[in-house]
Amino acid sequence: MLTVYGDEKSGNCLKVRWTAEKLAIPYRWRELDVLRSETRTPDFLALNPAGQVPLAILADGRALAQSNAIIVHLAEGSALIPADSYDRARMFEWLFWEQYSHEPYVAVARFQMVYLGKPREALDPNLVQRGRAALQRLEDGLEETAFLVGDHVSLADVALVAYTRLAPEGGFDLADYPRVVAWVARVEAELGIS
């Protein structure tokens, strides 16, 4: 059986949970608290030398790290990965963008406010500006379609909804992005999350 090491405070970890649940893949969840350095113990570092969650231990014992790599592996052959090669490439485009241009700003602002107790005014203005730019990119990307890659939920939506839905906790007002608000609701419904 699949085992997932994760921290429920992390959107990166939750996207693995949501993918497994959407695809009815049985798994065991091993909760680790990153803030208590539980990913830095010798036992965990033996599983993942990078000391990060999520970490999946596949049924055959192989380890796989990095949230988007894990969800791609879990969703192989499913409707969460578009069959059309161009649409599949667009899904990957969003996955790469999420880790490089969205998560480092939207999620980091949330982390600093919620877990480090920083007031909004103390955040780096560049962090806030880039977070807003990421949310605007999503808003623009949803101009013509219900989901990020057409009219069906894909891993692009799973990956990006994780921290977008929590953006208000980082001081971002989603009311400024009405298509994003509607998209979050659609993706949450598709994944059965609230």
Query: How does pLDDT run along the chain (194 residues), one tens digit per residue?
Result: 999 999 999 999 999 999 999 999 999 999 999 999 999 999 999 999 999 999 999 999 999 999 999 999 999 999 999 999 999 999 999 999 999 999 999 999 999 999 999 999 999 999 999 999 999 999 999 999 999 998 999 999 999 999 999 999 999 999 999 999 999 999 999 999 97
Rg of the Cα atoms in the chain:
17
* 25 and 92 inside one domain: no
CA dist 12 and 162 (Å) reads 7
CA dist 182 and 194 (Å) reads 14
CATH code for the domain of 71: 3.40.30.10
What is the structure's pLDDT at 108? 97
Q: What's the total number of domains in the chain?
A: 2
Q: Which amino acid is at 154?
A: S
CA dist 31 and 90 (Å) reads 32
What is the structure's pLDDT at 61? 96
What is the structure's pLDDT at 51? 95
How many C-beta neighbours within 10 Å does residue 75 have? 20
Q: Do 54 and 65 contact (CB within 8 A), yes or no?
A: yes
Query: In which region does residue 150 sit, left (phi positive, over 0), alpha (psi from -120 to 50) or beta (all else)?
Result: left
What is the structure's pLDDT at 194? 77
Residue indicated by tokens 């007031």: 119
* 42 and 110 inside one domain: no
Task: With respect to residue 80, please indicate whether it lies within any of the assigned structural domains.
Answer: no
* 66 and 94 inside one domain: no
Task: With respect to residue 145, please indicate whether it lies within any of the assigned structural domains.
Answer: yes
CA dist 96 and 117 (Å) reads 29
Give residues with Cβ within 8 angstroms of 111, minimum separation 6. 170
CATH code for the domain of 147: 1.20.1050.10
CA dist 102 and 87 (Å) reads 20
* 118 and 152 inside one domain: yes
Query: Angle CA(150)–CA(151)–CA(152) in degrees, nearest 5?
Result: 100
* 94 and 186 inside one domain: yes
For 64, the domain range is: 2-75
Q: Which amino acid is at 116?
A: L
Task: With respect to residue 176, please indicate whether it lies within any of the assigned structural domains.
Answer: yes
* 96 and 166 inside one domain: yes
Residue indicated by tokens 């090491």: 5
Give the domain-ending residue among 75, 104, 139: 75
CA dist 12 and 35 (Å) reads 15
